Structure 1
């Protein structure tokens, strides 16, 4: 962790805080009027936002295109295209009633880096791209990270037939300008580094007064369904000691989830969190002892061994059953995605960039999913977090200060320059100043 005080002010950064703020505000105005801030993928409001982003890319000197998966890409040609692409990306869609910054800040950071390169007259050897990924948030089709999955070549073909609002995902991709029948063309093999800026969506950076988080990994997400069978009885006449109450048994499991997750987080096993976010009982009547309970656990781990241990402990609890039940609880792993570590070299370059700028930083894992997790399948990838007020996100009061966004963007700009210099053996900044 680096906690030395910053020696830069927003006035002497290469990037412009006011331009970043203006971009954020412009996109914030493109929202469903009675639901700030809502601009969901595959809706007319999203297309309005996409039109604005494409125009902003062109004003920043980028050539724009939409790939087969519906990703909007702005490209600044380098001096040696054979060296491949350095890309900055995130997403411009939002959750319903969501925030102004989640995803949007990453796209705007890419735009501002393109402008800063032009302002300083820097010509990179690599091509430089800003990528607005399609539908990172859970879309109307019930799936997320559609664009970045396609870039990684792992978008399931049967997803194209998913239906919502009387149209298929295939039709939705076509409506945003993609070519779903040529989806394989979206897979990338030319990206040499992918970087993403994002608000933290948590309280750590703000509480510790640290400028940026250097993201070590995207936590793996495992969802576990547990069903508990009891026996329905009259709530007023059945003696307390003779009941098989499914809800009481399920509550024991909920308490165990909290305890086991807290213990793992405290043991230094990296970021770990588990939540019972869905819960249902039957028959759900005031005068009937519950006969059935279903709960869904969302567990997230930075390191796979921690998740394996949690699964073992929860399975053992289910296998032992709960006293008084006619049968042990039934456990099923619904989905199980491993963690995605960031590229070690990119982490080192980001930290060196921050140190050189006097910007404080610390390493941290992301408990939320991001497009970076799929880019990491085809290229070295890493992320930078910036503080957000009270850690709030996916809510109307989500907020990040302009100065914080500018510092994070400056770190990524310097990282881009470092990566380009490392690959070329030249001082791109010095050479660019002469072009």
Structure 2
């Protein structure tokens, strides 16, 4: 946001055309709502495909339902450099989340054509299927499938009468070919995204070069007390599940704040909470909490989980309740960015005249799954007030254009540098 926006090697108006065009394809009275597997999603996809084709890209939909635009390279045997993000949204708030990354990636392809730059590698622009949590309750379907790590049992998940397998077919994919469709030719993947946080705007940086995507662990805690009459049971004789759960909520916050005070990123939130019997005149007999914890370093997550175990034991003793050992519902480790790509992106910022800082992503992204298959990295651009997943989500088009310029310089550099690097195309465990 400090660098001048003149003489950029990209066209901001073309980026705005894509973002504005998708913003107009939304559910009535629900701004920027275009969820995967719903009636409006194909219209958004058709719009993106038309823009891909107008830019001279060869389009196809792969087995898992990702829309891909290809610009052939001079030496296809070298493999593919891939850019992209997603065009699906959360309900009521997805004007830039994902969409900015697709628009910026497309602009890189257009700008290469404008400049007459012929890459040795193939360049592919991807619109991943269902990055956001879908109607099937799962996310990052397209990137998991491309990396070959989409769980087969997910295909039978249902939303109403529709299965995920049928949803993928409706999106143009072929679930029967998922295993054969895992990509091994991608030499590098990069994604532009709005920050979804306030750091770049507050510190006045143009670009955040992402060094890691935080691991996400979700932990369920169930507190069992005893239902009693709210008016006749003495305060000292109760086993109030809600009172115990309230202490857990504030305890989670205190633990998270103590871990977040250092140099590594850490957050924890009680995002789901329910009680039984949920009646005004009954002492609560049960409470359920779901903790969302995110850590840049795995050791911090383990420290948090161990501390949480101790906290639940202490609160159970002091409140006469029973609290089962906290149970991990899901547990994804952190994803470090590829060091080579981080260096290339740092250098591309200098070439583009963009101020930049290193940053950690506290949100999940398709990049985390692509890192299972190839070198992967991300850049962030500022967003107003750090707001995201809300109708107020906003990023300045000039900031997105600066990000596209960084990607353009990075692609040109990578086209040279990757020819001296060993391929990293074996699917491996993250972290």
Report the TM-score, using the length of structure 2 for normalisation: 0.95
Is the Cα contact below 8 Å between 1:160 and 1:168 reproduced in 2? yes
Give the match for residue 274 of structure 2.
Answer: 280
Is the Cα contact below 8 Å between 2:241 and 2:321 reproduced in 1? no
Structure 1 residue 399 and structure 2 residue 378: aligned? no
Is the Cα contact below 8 Å between 2:63 and 2:175 reproduced in 1? yes
The 5 A counterparts of 1:34-73 are 34-73=29-68
Give the match for residue 427 of structure 2.
Answer: none
Work out the number of aligned pairs and report it.
Answer: 419
- The alignment partner of 1:192 has SS state of strand
Report the Cα distance in structure 2 between the residues aligned to 1:146 and 1:326, rounded to whole angstroms: 40
Pairwise CA distance, 1:185: 2.8
- The alignment partner of 2:6 has SS state of helix
Identify the match of residue 417 of structure 1 among 412, 415, 431: 412
Give the match for residue 10 of structure 1.
Answer: 5
Residues 344-365 of structure 1 deviation map (CA, whole Å, 9 limit, x = unaligned): 1100110011022221111111
Identify the match of residue 318 of structure 1 among 312, 318, 340: 312
- The alignment partner of 1:33 has SS state of coil
Give the match for residue 250 of structure 1.
Answer: 245
Pairwise CA distance, 1:283: 1.4
Instruction: Give me the CA root mean square deviation.
Output: 1.3
Pairwise CA distance, 1:165: 3.5
Give the match for residue 263 of structure 1.
Answer: 258
Report the Cα distance in structure 2 between the residues aligned to 1:72 and 1:250, rounded to whole angstroms: 45
Report the TM-score, using the length of structure 1 for normalisation: 0.94
Residues 129-156 of structure 1 deviation map (CA, whole Å, 9 limit, x = unaligned): 0001001111111111111001111111
Pairwise CA distance, 1:44: 2.5
Structure 1 residue 334 and structure 2 residue 303: aligned? no
Give the match for residue 200 of structure 1.
Answer: 195
Give the match for residue 390 of structure 1.
Answer: 385
Give the match for residue 186 of structure 1.
Answer: 181
Report the Cα distance in structure 1 between the residues aligned to 2:410 and 2:334, rounded to whole angstroms: 24
Is the Cα contact below 8 Å between 1:216 and 1:341 reproduced in 2? yes
Pairwise CA distance, 1:66: 0.6
Give the match for residue 428 of structure 1.
Answer: none
Unaligned runs of 5+ in 2: 421-431
Report the Cα distance in structure 1 between the residues aligned to 2:240 and 2:134, rounded to whole angstroms: 38
Segments of 4+ moved more than 6 angstroms: none
Pairwise CA distance, 1:389: 0.6
- The alignment partner of 2:87 has SS state of coil
- The alignment partner of 2:200 has SS state of helix
Pairwise CA distance, 1:377: 0.5
Report the Cα distance in structure 2 between the residues aligned to 1:389 and 1:280, rounded to whole angstroms: 33
Identify the match of residue 154 of structure 1 among 149, 153, 164: 149
- The alignment partner of 1:258 has SS state of helix
Structure 1 residue 378 and structure 2 residue 410: aligned? no
Report the Cα distance in structure 2 between the residues aligned to 1:373 and 1:36, rounded to whole angstroms: 28
